[in-house]
Structure 1
Amino acid sequence: MSHDHDDRPRLTAAQAEAALNPPPGRVGGDLVTETLQGLGATTVFGAVGRAAPGLPGALRRSASLSYVELGTESHAATAADAYGRITGEVAVLLLSAGPGALAALPALQEAAAASAPVLAVCAQVPAAGLGGGRHGYPGELRDQQASFRDVVKSVHPVRTASQIPSAIAAAWESALTAPHGPVWVEIPEDVLRAGTVLPPVSALDATPRELYPRPELTLVAAELLARAERPAIIAGGGTVRADASGKLRRLAERIAAPVATTYGGKGAFPWEHPLSLRSWPGDRHTTALLEDADVLLVIGSGLGALSSGGHTFAPRGRIVQIEADAGKLESNHPALGIHSDAREALDDLLDTVEDREDASAADRVRTVLEAAARDRAGDLAPEPRVLAAVREALPDASPSFWDLTALTTWAWSAFDARRPNTMHSAQGAGGPGYALPAATGAAFADPTAPVLAVTGQDGAVRSAAELATARRYGLPVTWLIVEDTGRAGGGEPACPDLAALTGAFGVPAVRSTPDSLAADLAGALGGPGPSVVVLGAEPRRPAPEAG
């Protein structure tokens, strides 16, 4: 059998010369940086002063890798998560062994929940000391990989220098194969430090595998949707990650189906579109319409707890579920499960489904939205006013990152993201302090565009150190801190003066009110470098839905 080798990577003359005469002074860490360069990485995240042995020098010798240092491993991992979400590219994270690695675990859990492509390269104790945890090396764990196997998508252990390029390339491919996710490469410290005579790493092939739907399932789904009397669509985060919002809109219009988005799917469908049910769950009228659909198309969502009102959602019709994560297919509801990337599945559906006419669909949507508005008419909570000010000030294309606070629970339902992939919140691990390091990471994706972080006072105290990062790199990050004035007293520790705290980092801060918030935020977002707006407010959670 003959083989076509034309598509194999070829060496340039300079690469051939370097292969035959490797530059002196290289170590295992250089194989890491050379592999990352060959795969197309440009930005690498880590903690200040905590790069794994062998890597600081390799990074300095790298011609194209920028090393970004944050205050802690946890914040570095959160920044990498955000960078991966915004760019859709692999975000590289460097970690030291033991405690440094474990500190990043919650952030990697968040990245896994959001299907963010993060490649963590972690040091391990010297190869001779692996196994048993009895050698007394600093940071030694008996089985470091075991701490991460249930969180990351795949684990790629390295034991010799020659294994480094292949392991990183395999991890890179895994991170970008749908569903995207964080991956783990582990390299012993002595392998990273030791000199190497291996040739410099040249081009590598780590092309992710495409995930296409099975044609017979597409045919059945198209038939169900075309012949449905009351079809409806729920679009989740997988729709956003697959860059499939345009195809979603075309399909919804073709079959005249109302569309609701989950919290992770915000921005996937135009807020003001006649078929838009906006964000769901959280409204009993929207829930009733979706439960009453005779065919419900669920795209890029497993309908987990946050996307189903705590698993109270009870659809009565036939469900068609498109999901790249096979483990989420029919995990909560029986369905025609289509294992596919959302973009590919919608593309095939658009080629297959027949047009469906339904002049009443937009009327049903309008009725639902009007009923929901009447339910909220007497609510005097301050959150909608705050969200309106944020929406007025924030440019449509600017990403925002939200800690899990009372204001965020309102934003999940009531904030118009306007564009896909612009609103992100902590939904996987959910710890306070997510927003500022995430916004910092996103700012490295495009240092010319403003980014917003929204935090309560608990998250502000936990993440304030990253103001130093934003200032050091001159990042256009605006941090909105919403004070909970009801927390002081009653045995609770008093909150520090947050405006004074941010000023200690040399970052300008302004105290705002709901009346001046839109103008204050617009001024901060429009200025150079980092800025802080502190809003004295007392958010409270929405009242439970009646009925």
Structure 2
Amino acid sequence: MTAPKSGALPGAGAAHAGPAKPAVRNGGDLVVETLSALGATTVFGIPGQHALGLFDALSRSPLHFVSSRVENNSAFAADGFSRATGDVGVLFLSTGPGALTSLAGLQEAYATGVPMVVIASQIPLEGLGARRKGMLHQLDDQKASAANVTKSQRLIQHASGIPSAIQDAWTEAISSPQGPVWVEVPQNVLLDPIMVPPVEDALAEAFDNPPRTELVKEAVRWLTEAKRPAIIAGGGARRGKAEPWLLSIAEKLHAPVVCSPGGNGAFPWNHELSLQSWVEDRYVTDVLEEADVLVVVGSSLGEVTSNYFTMEPRGRIIQIDAEPRVLESNGPALGIRADAGQALHALDDALSGELRNRPDWRGQTPEQLVKDTLAKVQARLDSQDLAKERAFMADIREAVPDTMQTFWDMTISAYWAWSCWDSREGQFHSAQGAGGLGFGFPGAIGGSVGLASQGKPARVLAVSGDGSAMYSISELATASQHNLPVTWLIVDDGGYGILREYMEGAFGKATATELARPDFVALAESFGVPARRVAPEGIRAALEESFAAQGPNVVVVETLLKMFAPTHLGG
């Protein structure tokens, strides 16, 4: 009998080969040993033919594996794990279809700056670039497919290179700007026996990313002279753990602060200088336009934060971001490429105490301006027949414990939450980075697993619409299998609600937005997951009872919600 070629599946064609032989250390062992040495505790993914060496090695590893049902959801789960814990999310992928299916999830992580290490298997080395071999799952250049959604891509060709490559990938993932990093290991490199000794230690430290001294000095000069400073805190402020210096600077400058959806929680919601997260309301946009110095921290001033590119600042802009491509991408600014935490720490140190001259917003103090602006926002909402929507969001907020983390899909409830959600001591996570559907539930699964791994309360809330829920409905099996404490709120309006509203507003009618959907309660129960259907006015009690239960559960609300208008009719 001819021995199988390098990379052939163990036992292929030998159904009666007898008892399995003792495992021999191989490249897969080096992968899991390195990850463990770097501090990984959990891996997400789905097994695949070319990745079997990885999964065999997992059986000899302390790493906890969580198997999703679709690779895209595995990526969302690793993303949610990282967001909830601050640790690196780890994802194992098979080749070809498995790798490609993950890309939409990785786009969200890349756009939002979530640190992840992606280990993708690959066909055997001898087949790379040789399509005539016609290997299963083969792509012309698999890692090229990941180039748009990961910070970098590596192909490992020898087992001895595995530990250093993964250590480098981990370092790059946690260095600002953070993000997912792609590592490919061919099937034979994972399976072949190795002489490399077990990995005993590995070290990955984030690269330093401080601001340039002359730019800090110039920013301080602008801020010292400013009469109407204001601040936008984006997602980079949270990722850079810049909250204490953001608060200190705002109080020294008496500067109003608004948080983007990604920055929600970076500044205290009820602080007298907080404009909260009403970036889509024109009254808040007016304040930002009026500032003579606008500090933008960890935000590109993109579509949502700029109120859909309607904001036209009349003053000077100081823009701080770790990603150099973001700086001045949407307007001229004093661009400071730096980690947000390091930059605000340097600015705070350089601003010597509280400034003597308090800002003057056309005869108002900043605190009066903030109070009046928020009152105008509420008055606008009062004028728009939104009592159901406002009560619904308020009831969810009252039901959710202060420390609970929440994960929001791209649905009308999330669009409301971008502006009105006070995250309190918990964290607010949404898919606004790339805007794809299906993030909420698998992201919450990953977040729950991560919090449990840290010994923290692991009950989390996921919020989806009926359309986005169908993207991740198969993960009910994952939640049930692992008995995860995730409460999934599905707001069922019979279609793609926000697209319906957009089309009706633009064209007077909606096309292709209505959806046939399952009985979500019966479907959840078929997976062994308790579920209930409630009216909108019953949402608070239903959530409170669900949060007190064990394991996963689902709450379904059939209702049609509307979005608020950011301006009065006619402007």
TM-score in terms of structure 2 length = 0.89
Q: Does 1:267 align with 2:273?
A: no
Q: Does 1:461 align with 2:470?
A: yes
Q: Does 1:374 align with 2:383?
A: no
Do the aligned partners of 2:85 and 2:451 also contact (CA within 8 Å) in 1? no
Do the aligned partners of 1:223 and 1:353 also contact (CA within 8 Å) in 2? no
**Partner amino acid, structure 2, of 1:427:** Q
Equivalent in the alignment of 1:223: 221
Equivalent in the alignment of 1:326: 324
Equivalent in the alignment of 1:9: none
**Partner amino acid, structure 2, of 1:475:** L
Q: Does 1:537 align with 2:559?
A: yes
Q: Aligned partners of 1:351 and 1:66: how far apart in 2?
A: 43
User: Cα–Cα, structure 1 residues 148 and 486, in superposed 2: closer, same or farther, change >3 Å?
Assistant: closer
Residues 116-138 of structure 1 show CA distances to partners (whole Å, capped at 9, x for unaligned) of: 01110001110011114332111
Q: Does 1:407 align with 2:393?
A: no
How many residues of Structure 1 are paired with residues of Structure 2 in the alignment?
523
CA shift for structure 1 position 69? 0.7
Do the aligned partners of 1:239 and 1:343 also contact (CA within 8 Å) in 2? yes
Q: Does 1:427 align with 2:436?
A: no
Query: Which segments of structure 1 move beyond 6 Å, counting only runs of 4 or more?
Result: 486-491
Q: Percent identity?
A: 47
**Partner amino acid, structure 2, of 1:293:** A
Q: Does 1:518 align with 2:516?
A: no
Alignment map for 1:171-320 (pairs within 5 Å): 171-320=169-318
CA shift for structure 1 position 49? 6.2
Q: Aligned partners of 1:453 and 1:272: how far apart in 2?
A: 25
Q: Aligned partners of 1:380 and 1:468: how far apart in 2?
A: 40
Do the aligned partners of 1:30 and 1:55 also contact (CA within 8 Å) in 2? yes
Q: Aligned partners of 1:230 and 1:32: how far apart in 2?
A: 54
**Partner amino acid, structure 1, of 2:393:** L
Equivalent in the alignment of 1:482: 491
Do the aligned partners of 1:293 and 1:315 also contact (CA within 8 Å) in 2? yes
Among candidates 163, 187, 193, match of residue 165 of structure 1: 163
User: Cα–Cα, structure 1 residues 164 and 485, in superposed 2: closer, same or farther, change >3 Å?
Assistant: closer
Q: 3-state SS of the aligned residue for 1:304? A: coil
User: Cα–Cα, structure 1 residues 470 and 144, in superposed 2: closer, same or farther, change >3 Å?
Assistant: same
Equivalent in the alignment of 1:506: 528
Q: Does 1:470 align with 2:479?
A: yes
Residues 366-415 of structure 1 show CA distances to partners (whole Å, capped at 9, x for unaligned) of: 11111111111122232221110110011122111111112211111112
**Partner amino acid, structure 2, of 1:372:** V
CA shift for structure 1 position 428? 3.2
Structure 2: state its 5+ residue gaps. 1-21, 360-364, 498-509
Q: 3-state SS of the aligned residue for 2:424? A: coil
Do the aligned partners of 1:48 and 1:72 also contact (CA within 8 Å) in 2? no
Equivalent in the alignment of 1:452: 461
Q: 3-state SS of the aligned residue for 2:537? A: coil
TM-score in terms of structure 1 length = 0.92
User: Cα–Cα, structure 1 residues 485 and 123, in superposed 2: closer, same or farther, change >3 Å?
Assistant: closer
User: Cα–Cα, structure 1 residues 384 and 132, in superposed 2: closer, same or farther, change >3 Å?
Assistant: farther
Q: Aligned partners of 1:428 and 1:397: how far apart in 2?
A: 23
Q: Aligned partners of 1:487 and 1:232: how far apart in 2?
A: 36
User: Cα–Cα, structure 1 residues 305 and 42, in superposed 2: closer, same or farther, change >3 Å?
Assistant: same
Q: 3-state SS of the aligned residue for 1:383? A: helix
Q: Aligned partners of 2:117 and 2:251: how far apart in 1?
A: 38
Q: Does 1:38 align with 2:37?
A: yes
Equivalent in the alignment of 1:4: none
Q: Aligned partners of 1:486 and 1:343: how far apart in 2?
A: 41
Equivalent in the alignment of 1:140: 138
CA shift for structure 1 position 486? 7.1
Do the aligned partners of 2:47 and 2:55 also contact (CA within 8 Å) in 1? no
Do the aligned partners of 1:442 and 1:451 also contact (CA within 8 Å) in 2? yes
Equivalent in the alignment of 2:358: 358
Do the aligned partners of 1:211 and 1:341 also contact (CA within 8 Å) in 2? yes
CA shift for structure 1 position 149? 1.2
User: Cα–Cα, structure 1 residues 529 and 259, in superposed 2: closer, same or farther, change >3 Å?
Assistant: same
Q: 3-state SS of the aligned residue for 2:488? A: strand
**Partner amino acid, structure 2, of 1:496:** P
Do the aligned partners of 1:280 and 1:307 also contact (CA within 8 Å) in 2? no
Q: 3-state SS of the aligned residue for 1:203? A: coil
Q: Aligned partners of 1:523 and 1:512: how far apart in 2?
A: 12
Q: 3-state SS of the aligned residue for 1:534? A: strand
Q: Does 1:391 align with 2:397?
A: yes
CA shift for structure 1 position 458? 1.1
CA shift for structure 1 position 53? 2.3
CA shift for structure 1 position 24? 6.7
Q: Is the deviation greater in 359-368 or in 433-442?
A: 359-368
Equivalent in the alignment of 1:494: 516
Equivalent in the alignment of 2:7: none
Do the aligned partners of 1:407 and 1:540 also contact (CA within 8 Å) in 2? no
**Partner amino acid, structure 2, of 1:540:** K
CA shift for structure 1 position 267? 1.0
Q: Aligned partners of 1:51 and 1:440: how far apart in 2?
A: 26
C-alpha root-mean-square deviation of aligned residues, in Å?
Answer: 1.9
Q: Aligned partners of 2:24 and 2:120: how far apart in 1?
A: 22
**Partner amino acid, structure 2, of 1:523:** E
Do the aligned partners of 2:113 and 2:177 also contact (CA within 8 Å) in 1? yes
Do the aligned partners of 2:408 and 2:430 also contact (CA within 8 Å) in 1? yes
Do the aligned partners of 1:48 and 1:71 also contact (CA within 8 Å) in 2? no
Q: Aligned partners of 2:266 and 2:132: how far apart in 1?
A: 52
CA shift for structure 1 position 93? 0.3
Residues 55-109 of structure 1 show CA distances to partners (whole Å, capped at 9, x for unaligned) of: 12110111x2111111111111100011111222111100001100000000000
